[in-house]
A = this chain, B = another copy of it.
């Protein structure tokens, strides 16, 4: 099935579908109508049907969706079963927050390495990993073959590290938390970014342009 033409807007809704379906499973719900699923997600039933139709038919008229099956299908579409491994570069506040608090496994990803250059940080233990010196990245990657590089280092070092990560044969995508605007696909490798500044500015727009 060709997924090349599924819009990124639809793709970005899939994780929420997955999370809510996973919670419904945990609540013991076995089937759900598109209307109830829509209520829960804050979407319309028609939007849900349209989205899911991009990936093939799910659900039955009058029956709704089988929660376990739909959850599993969306998980497959998202690549959660692919066993992707990630390394994280830059152990400041955000790096620590990710290593300690973020549930990588819920996204099917295993964090396998953490890197920094600061003296007190290299050698310390964070989230079950020992922080290695960034000089060891290439050697480590040759042995462990991570697919995802996570950039949580300072902006000034971001582009150089991005090039190093992209050059690693195993790396297939980057997760960028720095404020350096590394967005374009490099050599076809997708870059997802988390940019607080964009998000806050969007909130300011919505506040100052609301209908009150």
A residues sitting closer than 8 Å to B (CB atoms) are: 3-4, 8-9, 11-12, 14-16, 18-20, 42, 77-80, 82, 84, 92-94, 96-98, 100-104, 106-109, 147-148, 172-175, 181, 183-184, 188-190, 192-212
Contact = CB atoms under 8 A, between A and B. Distances in A.
A104 B200 contact: yes
A89 to B, nearest CB: 15
Contacts of A148: 203, 207
A20 B94 contact: no
Greatest chain B CB density within 10 A among A19, A205, A208, A212 is at A205
Interface centre among A102, A106, A207 (most CB of B within 10 A): A207
12 contacts: A19-B181, A20-B181, A79-B207, A84-B204, A106-B197, A107-B197, A109-B204, A148-B203, A173-B206, A174-B203, A192-B202, A194-B199
